[in-house]
Amino acid sequence: MSVVHNIKLPPSLMSRFDMIYIMLDYREEKYDTILAEHIVSFFSSEEETMKDQSVAYSKQFISQYITYARKYKTPQS
């Protein structure tokens, strides 16, 4: 089938794009499993990195910080 038929956009709209990439998706469980594991590992390792870098502040500290900022600081544009 043609690109226009597969994407289901009128040719007048298709002509407005500089490039169109066609991706083929073969139904192979092996490749789908590899891709899924890669995506899950990417996001789970990113989440672990974010946990390591985050600092937990107490509710009291945040409250005092906001009170100080309201009293001594003014927004600048």
- pLDDT number for residue 25: 78
| Domain range list for the chain | 3-72
pTM listed for this prediction = 0.34
Q: Mind listing the pLDDT tens digit for each residue in 6-49?
A: 777 777 887 887 777 777 777 899 988 988 888 888 777 655 55
pLDDT at 45: 64
- State residue 54's pLDDT score: 59
Backbone angles phi, psi at 74, to 5 degrees: -125, 140
Q: Which residues of 29-51 are buried (b: 16+ CB within 10 A; e: fewer)?
A: eeeeeeeeeeeeeeeeeeeeeee
Confidence of residue 58 (pLDDT cuts 50, 70, 90): confident
